[in-house]
Amino acid sequence: MGTYSELKMSNIFHISATPLVGAPGKIAHAQRTIGHFSTHLALSDYPQKGPLHGKFLNHSILRSEFTTKFIDELILQADIVHIHNDIPRDWIEKLIHENSRAMYVYHVHSPLREGPLYVPRADKYGIDFSLKLAVGQYQPRHYPTYIPVPNLVLEPPAVRPRNPHEKLRVLFSPTHAQVGRWNNKHSDELADAIYGLERAGKIEVVPFKGGIDPATLFSVRRACHVTIDEIATGGFHQVSLEGLCAGNVVINRADYFSKLFFSQFCEGNFPPFLYADGASVTDRICELALDCSMTVEYQRRSFEFAKTYMAPARFARIYDDIYQSASKYTA
């Protein structure tokens, strides 16, 4: 494929089969803030009767009769075609037919299969990708030859420290057990701890399930003191990054390597998560509930980390650096 344009402003075309919970659209939005003409196309939305329908298209366009001509022009003019996860083969053929000069980038957000069988999606396309990228959280374990890249949070960091007279307010989303080492986010110990402490009057739980508008959810998160990701896998997810930007204490089970992958975007600094596993989660939440100063200190660390290292424009420039150094990498 072609090489990355050395022009300061580039035409970047992101494409994915679904909105991927907004991740590619956020990258495109951040790239626009630093001068690129960057667009994300979602080939379809989530199912209409499902909880995610219509929730993640704020920074993307959706394929439709109205957008067809515009999409064709975007493909033709693209300097970079950035493909996310899996897209249909007919769209691969369309991209190559309409623009063979662009630099092609493949970006994986999640494993196609869970171990011991891993299926490399990019290899089926028959494209000599200039770059192969993986979300820099737990995913590089599955794709060790791919370059880690950050997920983005577009909302500006903010913090409202817990008042000593306030009960600890915890944002919590119960999940169902999933098949696979890394897909599972459910923990019986966590659910028991949360609801047991709530019954004991130690904490205030703010529960939520799918279907909430992301902007509304983030506003609610800012009014809470604690965001809980999962304590099942040793990885962490977008909710942990959103918790940092919301000035929350972020509880998860992120291990050394998951934090190490992300630290390379943050000048080597690890995100200030509060570690908990099934054996310790009740104690960790009790400590926070009883110690307002501990809560406030972790809130401060979260806010300072997000403000210093997680600005969307800063992460967009990381993508710029990777695009421009494409010739140095082989995957």
Residues 128 and 255 in one domain: no
Residues 147 and 184 in one domain: no
* Residue 106, domain extent: 11-152+312-328
CA atoms within 13 A on the CB side of 303: 16
Looking at the domain assignment, is residue 292 inside a domain?
A: yes
Note the pLDDT of residue 330.
41
Note the pLDDT of residue 173.
76
Looking at the domain assignment, is residue 3 inside a domain?
A: no
Neighbours of 79 (CB within 10 A): 22
CATH of the domain at 136: 3.40.50.2000
pLDDT digits (tens, 9 = 90+) for 5-29: 554 689 999 999 999 999 999 999 9
Lowest mean pLDDT among 55-59, 98-102, 182-186: 182-186
**Ordered alpha helix ranges (H), the chain:** 23-33, 68-77, 89-98, 188-199, 214-222, 238-245, 256-263, 281-290, 292-309, 312-324
Looking at residues 66-78, what average pLDDT do you find? 95
Residues 304 and 316 in one domain: no
Residues 183 and 144 in one domain: no
Is residue 49 predicted with pLDDT exceeding 70? yes
Residues 16 and 110 in one domain: yes
Give the C-alpha separation, 107 to 129, whole Å.
10
Note the pLDDT of residue 325.
85
Residues 278 and 324 in one domain: no
Residues 86 and 190 in one domain: no
Lowest mean pLDDT among 194-198, 220-224, 238-242: 194-198
Per-residue confidence at 252, pLDDT binned at 50, 70, 90? very high
Looking at residues 25-38, what average pLDDT do you find? 97
For the entire predicted model, the pTM comes to: 0.90
pLDDT digits (tens, 9 = 90+) for 78-129: 999 999 998 999 999 999 999 999 999 999 998 765 555 556 678 788 898 9
Give the C-alpha separation, 248 to 242, whole Å.
9
Residues 179 and 106 in one domain: no
Residues 270 and 184 in one domain: yes
Looking at the domain assignment, is residue 162 inside a domain?
A: no
Residues 72 and 97 in one domain: yes
| Percent above pLDDT 70 for the chain | 89
pLDDT digits (tens, 9 = 90+) for 315-326: 999 999 999 988
Lowest mean pLDDT among 5-14, 37-46, 74-83, 193-202: 5-14
CB 94 within 8 A of CB 25: no
Residues 298 and 173 in one domain: yes
Looking at the domain assignment, is residue 157 inside a domain?
A: no
Looking at residue 256, its amino acid is Y
Judge residue 119's burial from the number of C-beta atoms within 10 Å of its C-beta, 0-12 exposed, 13-18 middle, 19 or more buried.
Answer: exposed
Q: How many domains does the chain have?
A: 2
Note the pLDDT of residue 166.
95
Looking at the domain assignment, is residue 186 inside a domain?
A: yes
Q: Which residues pair with 103 in a beta bridge?
A: 80
pLDDT digits (tens, 9 = 90+) for 123-157: 788 898 999 999 999 888 888 999 999 999 999 99
Q: Which helix (H) or strand (E) holds 41?
A: strand 37-42
Q: Sheet with 37-42: list strands edge to edge.
A: 61-62, 37-42, 11-16, 80-84, 103-108, 131-135, 147-149
Looking at the domain assignment, is residue 130 inside a domain?
A: yes
Looking at residues 225-233, what average pLDDT do you find? 88
Looking at the domain assignment, is residue 2 inside a domain?
A: no
Per-residue confidence at 3, pLDDT binned at 50, 70, 90? low
Tokens 């890249």 label which residue?
A: 149
Q: Which of 242, 329, 129, 306 is nearest to 121 (CA)?
A: 129
Looking at the domain assignment, is residue 245 inside a domain?
A: yes
Residues 229 and 297 in one domain: yes
Is residue 179 predicted with pLDDT exceeding 50? no
